Every structure is written in structure tokens, then in C-alpha cells.
A and B are shown apart, each in its own frame.
Chain A
Amino acid sequence: MLESYIPIMLVLSFALIFAVVMINLSSLLGPSKPDKEKLSTYESGMEPIGTARERFSVKYYMVAVSFILFDLEVVFLYPWAISFINFPKAEMVYSLIVALIFIFILFVGLIYEYKKGVLKWD
């Protein structure tokens, strides 16, 4: 069981080591001659306006909320989809209806969000 997780462990440890080594290596090897212009915030060549600590718009928050709730919908539907094939024919229709009810209830929420204008970026 645990042997099948060795590739995941390898990838994770490689990512961690790679990131740490690269960040430290660039600060160790690179020449460091800071001046006032270099230390200022880089804003695609323009003069930065305000600070970087500004408050986010609440629209990002609403997108995150929609993401997490529909993410959970997928999590619930995944075991259903896996076990769907193993059901006998008579129960297939039944389980399909059950899942459609589940999807429909969440679809109501999506319609509500759309009508409320939460998904609009103006």
C-alpha cells in the first residue's frame, strides 16, 4: 500500500528541495549591488500607486466561495460515479435520479448567484 506512494513522495521532496536550493543559490551566487531604483517596487515599468497591502475586492471572495462549494459537489459525485457501474440495471435509474436531484439543488444556487450578479465583473 505505502509503496505505491513512493513516486508522490519523490515528487514532493524534489519540489521542496528544488525550490529551497534555487532560492538560496540565486541569493548566494548572484552579485548584489542594490541601489534606490532597483529596490523600488517593480510595476511593469510604471510608477507604483499606493501600497501593496490594499484590501481585495469582495468579488475574489465570491469566486472562491463558489469554487469551494462546487468542489464539494464534485467530491460527492465522484464516489457515486465510481460505484454507478457496479449497480444492477434496476438500481441504475434510481441512482441516476438521486444524483440528478443533488445536482439540481446546487444548480438552483448557481442560478441565484447569476441573477444576483455575483458572477459579473464590471
Chain B
Amino acid sequence: MIYYTILFYVFAVLAVATAFYVVFAKNVIHSAFALFGTLFAVAGLFVLLNADFIAITQIMVYVGGILVLMIFGVMLTTKIADIDIHTKNLNRIPAILFSTGITVILIFILFTTKWNIKPQVQNQETVSQIGKLMLTTYLLPFEIASIVLLVALVGSAMYARKTK
């Protein structure tokens, strides 16, 4: 059990530290690589939460897909000379105050709510459960997800095509 706690703190500190680096890094490529650390730490947290399939999906979709897409986006939009890759930031103090307020409110709500906690089941197979739920209760969202993907495919093909 002590390993569980230590692993939780390792992943939590990794996630928060790399998330800070994503926000405050001067170089866009650096923040993209820091985002890799955050996504990986979140996948580790999913493993700790008994959601192994979600963890694998996180690595497959976020790290293997979305992050690569982000890096392609950076590569496609840099100027030839490497000047425009750095960006400035502004309004630091109001933004930090605002988001600290959000955090305080959220944590206050968390501690005042009585969660209806059930004992955790270890070593449970989640994939077939997810599949069953997806074909019964969440059938319509399952089909609509394919339409969302179709629209994304068509839309990005429309936008990114070279205009002649």
C-alpha cells in the first residue's frame, strides 16, 4: 500500500511540474515536450485508479496522436528564421489570482461534499464492462462519436488543403 502512495505522489508531482512548464516555457517546442510528461503522468494515475484500458488509450490517442499533431502544428507554422517561435505572456498576476480562486472554490466544494464511496475492487477487468455499457446504455453516443470523427476528417481536409 505504501508503494501506491509513493507512486501517486510521484505521478502527481510530475504532472503538476510539467504542466507548469507547459504554461510558462518560452519555447513552443519545449512546452510540447513538457506536455508529453503531463500526459504520461496522467496515464500513470489512470493505472493507479484501476483503469488500465483508459491508460493505454491515453498513451495511444494523446501521446501518439494529439501530441504529434501539436508538434506538426508547430512545425507547420514556424517562420524560416527561428524568431517567431518565442512568445511573450501578459496579465500574469490577475490570471494567477483568478485561477487560484477557482482552485480554492473547487477544493472547498470537494471537502464539503459527502461522496458515496464504495470499496475499490482490485484486479477487475474493465474492457468488457465498457464494451457492454457502450452497446446498451451509451449506444447513441457511440454512433454519434463516429459522426463527430467523420466531421473532423472532412473539416480538416477542407481547411488544410492547398488553395489553388
A and B touch in the complex (CB under 8 A): yes
- Show the binding face of A for B, using Cβ within 8 Å: 1-2, 5, 51, 53-56, 58, 60-62, 64-69, 71-73, 75-76, 78-84, 86, 95, 98, 101-102, 105-106, 108-110, 112-113, 116, 118
Cross-chain contact A72 with B149 (CB below 8 angstroms):
yes
Q: Is the interface of B mostly helix, strand, loop or mixed?
A: helix
The 3 closest A-B pairs by CB, nearest first: A83-B131, A79-B131, A68-B65
Which B69-88 residues sit within 8 Å CB-CB of chain A? 69, 72-73, 75-78, 80-82
How far is A80 from B135 in the complex, measured between Cα atoms in Å? 7
Residues of the B chain whose Cβ atoms lie less than 8 Å from the Cβ of A62: 156-157, 160
Q: How many A-B residue pairs have CB under 8 A?
A: 134
Indicate whether A64 sits within 8 Å of B72 (C-beta atoms), given known contacts A58-B162, A83-B135, A109-B150. yes
Q: How many residues of B contact A (CB 8 A)?
A: 50
Residues of the A chain whose Cβ atoms lie less than 8 Å from the Cβ of B60: 71, 75
17 pairs of residues in contact across A and B, judged by CB atoms under 8 Å: A1-B50, A2-B7, A55-B77, A65-B153, A66-B153, A68-B64, A71-B60, A72-B65, A76-B145, A79-B128, A79-B134, A80-B131, A82-B127, A83-B127, A86-B128, A105-B146, A113-B153
Cross-chain contact A61 with B160 (CB below 8 angstroms):
yes
